[in-house]
Structure 1
């Protein structure tokens, strides 16, 4: 009998999740049916959006069911197959994360190529959904134009590190960012091509941002929300555009936070604030893949990962990521 170690949600967090909200179980897997595959996961992704799915609330994705194994991005190798399209040995990406062994219809899995010199987790990061999110936000949502100034909140995270580099490659004039430590700020400017960055823990971001954006901001890629959105509205140039990707600063709030106090600038500066979900823009996947794969092969795009070993440590990895303890993509190595 093949078994799978899986992580389940057993109670809905109020505020910050705790390890007691989860449990790790061993599940027996049935024999494969027609056109099915079994996959040994190599890397499992933990991402901020998963916090929202732990609430019993209507959103763009259904909430995790209590007592059932959670899902998320993963990459792994086919170890058993009844599908001609995905023979044993195929490398695949799929949505059955939070487990070491995944099994299901072949249609739920997509074959990908190995990238020379890179771990297979790259398909969860800069060459996967993370990179696509950055590309969609800058192009389809914010309409970045050559020479414009871009500000990125949460710039040292998985999406933020991708946004900075892609913005530069798309012709941005200046790229600015915020992060939560001096070490991350240095990484943004030394490794990821940011022109300037600030540590938002040093002083309110609303006080720091004008100093690095004396000529204003044209595009804001927001992963944080809250005070960062407020600060960006302050410094927006006329016709500024925001691609609202996330609002991690408020994901664990138990009370409704105060909204920005300067939204009248949306009218006076003729601003556009647009939220987006990357899954609504699958039509850009091929374009993204061609461009970013080319940049990656040419050495124009770099990436960092924070790796936690062991599927049993997935909750620890998730909580560390939510507290900003990662640089680049947070993954669990199975």
Structure 2
């Protein structure tokens, strides 16, 4: 199944409440979940108290899951009070509040994907402390949190009136941590480094073909020679290679102007989430201000889709074809 992850709209409230009802009816341990009402949902879709994200099944348009984020500030029910946070820290805290996946769509990793999208939405804002609660016996949700970099900040505390919960915490890295990233032209000295990164990139789910060293070598040679159709770029910080990008040139008769294809955008795992991909897109946009920018992305790659949409990209309605 394929899903579109997007911000919730006011018209989604009824469907969100149905997802919640269906998920709760299927729970073996209903005490693990604290339901919200329609008023709460509406406030977190179009108000300053937080935001809500949803996953929509692409074939049917059915709402498959939702994820709410609460910006509690210094409110009495803010989780940070339980951790001894100062008022200054509370005002930089976002609560990963609630997530439900409708039973037919469980097992597709939607909770984790929506969590990543929520973090990307917050990254670059003033919110750097992320908090969440999980029932001590809810191993699946606990695994999702720990797998995404959260740690248990408090065990078996009373939340939501009389509910026993563990509180999870994660400090969100700022987009500004990439301010020292340098984007420069690829050179012959980069051959080995780029070859290694291409092997990783083309063996990942982000790419449909695996490529070969022969193809990679031709690509790199095109980038470092006087080939007029392709350009290669390196992303560096203090001499450390963070990733690479490749851009190919063509002309779009549909739009009557130059077209720049962002063929490869690869960021090493330890540098992801720092806004480097967005910085590269901005770099190309400024270098070719009159060009149409295009790229390819797997729709299931929710994190990449979210980054590209925030940079102004949108999906074409038609599919591409190829002949080798």
Shorter-chain TM-score tier: under 0.3
Question: Of the two structures, which has the highest relative contact order with CA contacts closer than 8 Å and spacing of 6 or more?
Answer: 1
Q: Structure 2 length normalisation: TM-score?
A: 0.27
- Which of structures 1 and 2 has the bigger CA Rg? 2
Larger helix share, 1 or 2: 2
